[in-house]
C-alpha cells in the first residue's frame, strides 16, 4: 500500500484542549500552505526502507530541528479526487527527488480540508533533533545528499 | 601598541557563517584584515568584532565577554562606531596587546554606564522584531525572520538578549507560534556566553501554561543538548497533563542523556 508523508508541526494539530470532537484547529492550515494550488508530498516504500533517506533529504533543506510528519494513504487520496503527480523535488538528494517526490496538484479548499483530516489521522511519533541530524550525516556519508547543494546555514549547523 | 594579526582561516570562518557573513559584510571583511600596524586603525572595528566572534565561537570567555558595536543601527556602522563600540574597540585591542591597566580601568567605568543602556535597547529591538513578524509563518528547520533577528541579538547582546526575551514573552500580543519559534532558536544557537541563560529560560518555559510553549521549550532543550537539563525535562514530563505532549517529551529525553 503506497503511502505519502508530509512534514508538519505536531503542536498545531494535537495540543488544543478546547477543540470539539472531530474538529481541527485552524492553525493546521499553516502546514498546508499551498503554492500554485500545489503541495509537496513524499512517497514512502511499504517496508519503510526509504523513510530515513526521505526524512534526511527534507531535513537537509534547513537547520537541524525536531521532525514531525504525518502519513497518508496514496490510494485513498486518489479516491478522494486528489491529483498526485510525480515531480522532481528540490532537496539536496537528487535521486530521492527523482524517485519519491510527488506534488498534490489542483487543490481546492475542499480537498485541503480532506487532506487536513487525513493528516490528523496519520500523525506519527516525533523524530528528535539528534536523530534527524544523525540521519542527515549518514545520508551524506552514503553519498545520497550533496553537501554543496545544502543551504549554507544547514551545512554550518551540522 | 602591538600589531594585531588574525589568520586568514579565522576570517574564512566568518565568511562562511551565515549570521556573521551578513553582519560583517558591511565592513567588507577580507584578507586585508591581516593588515600591518599602519592599517590597524582603519580596520579596528571589524577586527575587534571578529575577535568577539572568535571568542564566542571558540568557547573562550574573556573577563567581560560582550560586543563592540550596536548592530541594529546601521548608520553608526557606516560611519563612526557608537561610544560603546569605540570603547569596545579599545578594550579588545588592550585585551590582546596588554596596554596600560590604568587606562583600562577608567574605560571599564565608562563601559558600565554604556552597558546599562543596552538592556533597554535590546528590549525595544525585540518588541519591534516580534511586532514585525506577527504574521510570519514558521516551519521546522526553516529560517524565519524572527529566528534570524533573535540569533543576531543573542550574538551581539548575549545574556541581556535572553533577559529581554523573557520580558517580551510576557506580552499579551506575542503569539505562541512566535514563542515556540523563539525557543527553538534559543536552543539551536551555539553562542557560549549566553548558554546558561538560555538553558535556564528554556527550563522555565517547560512549565508554561501554554502546551505549545511547553512543546517548544522541550524541543529547544533537545537542540541545546545540555545534560544538566535532563532533570528539568523529567520533571516536566511527570507533570505534563497532555498525553501526546508527554510522549513527545519522552522521545526528546535521549537527546539530553546521550551527549
What is the Cα–Cα distance from B257 to B231, expressed in whole angstroms?
Answer: 10
Which pTM was predicted? 0.73
Residue B243 grid coordinates: 498525553
- Tens digit of pLDDT for each residue in B6-34? 444 444 444 444 444 444 433 333 323 33
Residue B9 grid coordinates: 582561516
For chain A, report the end-to-end CA distance as a whole number of angstroms: 35
For chain B, report the end-to-end CA distance as a whole number of angstroms: 44
The residue segments making up the domain with residue A124 are: 3-157
What is the Cα–Cα distance from A14 to A120, expressed in whole angstroms?
Answer: 8
Cβ contact, residue pair B252, A157, below 8 Å? no
Residue B43 pLDDT greater than 90, yes or no: no
Q: What is the pLDDT of residue B114?
A: 52
Domain positions in chain B: 8-99, 114-257
Q: Tally the domains of chain A.
A: 1
Residue B157 grid coordinates: 547582546
What is the Cα–Cα distance from B99 to B97, expressed in whole angstroms?
Answer: 6
Burial state string for B175-213 with b = 16 or more CB within 10 A and e = fewer than 16: bbbbbbbbbbbbbbbbbbbbbebbbebbbebbebeebbb
ipTM: 0.91
For chains A and B, what is the number of CB pairs under 8 angstroms? 89
Q: Pick from A10, A33, A61: which is nearest to B141 by CB?
A: A61
Cβ contact, residue pair A129, B245, below 8 Å? no
The mean pLDDT value for B82-109 works out to: 50
> Closest-CA residue in chain A for B184?
A65
Using alpha carbons, select from B181, B180, B164 the residue that is nearest to residue B72: B164
Cβ contact, residue pair B212, A15, below 8 Å? yes
Cβ contact, residue pair B211, A126, below 8 Å? no
Q: What is the pLDDT of residue B119?
A: 66
> Closest-CA residue in chain B for A56?
B141
* Average predicted confidence (pLDDT) for chain B: 69
- How far from A45 is each of A88, A101, A139, B24, CA to CA, in Å? 17, 12, 17, 46
CATH number for region B114-257: 1.25.10.10
**Burial class of residue A63, CB neighbours in 10 A (0-12, 13-18, 19+):** buried
**Burial class of residue B222, CB neighbours in 10 A (0-12, 13-18, 19+):** buried
* Owner of C-alpha cell 543601527: B73
Q: What is the pLDDT of residue A5?
A: 96
* Owner of C-alpha cell 532543550: B221
Amino acid at each position: 500500500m503506497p503511502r505519502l508523508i508530509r512534514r508538519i508541526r505536531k503542536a498545531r494539530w494535537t495540543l488544543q484542549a478546547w477543540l470539539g470532537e472531530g474538529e481541527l484547529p485552524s492553525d493546521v492550515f499553516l502546514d498546508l500552505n499551498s503554492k500554485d494550488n500545489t503541495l509537496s508530498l513524499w512517497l514512502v516504500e511499504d517496508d519503510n526502507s526509504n523513510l530515513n533517506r526521505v526524512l534526511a533529504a527534507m531535513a537537509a533543506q534547513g537547520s537541524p530541528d525536531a521532525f514531525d510528519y504525518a502519513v497518508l494513504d496514496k490510494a485513498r487520496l486518489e479516491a478522494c479526487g486528489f491529483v498526485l503527480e510525480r515531480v522532481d523535488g528540490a532537496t539536496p538528494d537528487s535521486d530521492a527527488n527523482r524517485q519519491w517526490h510527488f506534488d498534490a496538484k489542483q487543490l481546492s479548499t475542499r480537498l485541503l480540508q480532506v487532506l487536513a483530516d487525513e493528516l490528523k489521522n496519520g500523525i506519527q511519533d516525533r523524530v528528535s533533533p539528534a536523530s534527524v541530524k544523525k540521519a542527515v550525516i549518514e545520508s551524506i556519508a552514503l553519498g545520497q545528499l550533496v553537501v554543496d547543494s545544502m543551504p549554507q546555514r544547514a551545512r554550518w549547523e551540522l | 601598541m602591538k600589531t594585531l594579526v588574525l589568520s586568514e582561516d579565522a576570517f574564512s570562518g566568518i565568511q562562511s557563517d551565515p549570521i556573521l557573513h551578513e553582519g560583517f559584510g558591511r565592513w567588507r571583511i577580507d584578507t586585508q584584515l591581516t593588515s600591518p600596524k599602519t592599517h590597524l586603525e582603519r580596520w579596528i572595528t571589524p577586527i575587534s568584532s571578529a575577535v568577539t566572534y572568535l571568542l564566542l565561537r571558540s568557547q573562550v570567555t574573556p573577563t567581560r565577554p560582550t560586543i563592540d558595536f550596536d548592530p541594529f543601527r546601521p548608520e553608526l556602522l557606516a560611519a563612526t562606531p557608537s561610544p560603546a563600540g569605540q570603547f569596545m574597540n579599545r578594550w579588545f585591542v588592550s585585551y590582546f596587546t596588554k596596554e596600560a591597566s590604568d587606562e583600562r580601568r577608567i574605560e571599564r567605568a565608562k563601559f558600565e554606564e554604556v552597558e546599562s543602556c543596552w538592556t533597554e535597547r535590546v528590549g525595544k529591538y525585540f518588541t519591534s522584531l516580534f511586532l514585525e513578524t506577527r504574521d510570519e509563518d514558521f516551519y521546522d528547520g526553516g529560517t524565519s525572520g524572527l529566528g534570524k533577528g533573535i540569533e543576531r541579538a543573542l550574538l551581539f547582546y548575549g545574556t541581556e538578549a535572553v533577559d529581554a526575551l523573557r520580558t517580551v514573552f510576557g506580552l499579551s500580543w506575542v503569539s505562541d507560534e512566535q514563542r515556540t519559534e523563539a525557543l527553538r532558536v534559543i536552543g539551536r544557537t551555539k553562542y557560549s556566553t549566553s548558554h546558561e541563560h538560555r538553558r535556564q529560560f528554556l527550563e522555565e518555559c517547560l512549565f508554561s501554561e501554554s502546551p505549545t510553549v511547553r512543546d517548544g521549550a522541550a524541543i529547544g532543550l533537545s537542540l541545546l543538548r545540555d545534560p544538566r537539563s535532563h532533570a528539568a525535562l523529567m520533571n516536566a514530563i511527570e507533570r505534563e497533563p497532555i498525553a501526546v505532549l508527554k510522549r513527545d517529551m519522552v522521545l526528546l529525553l535521549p537527546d539530553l542523556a546521550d551527549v
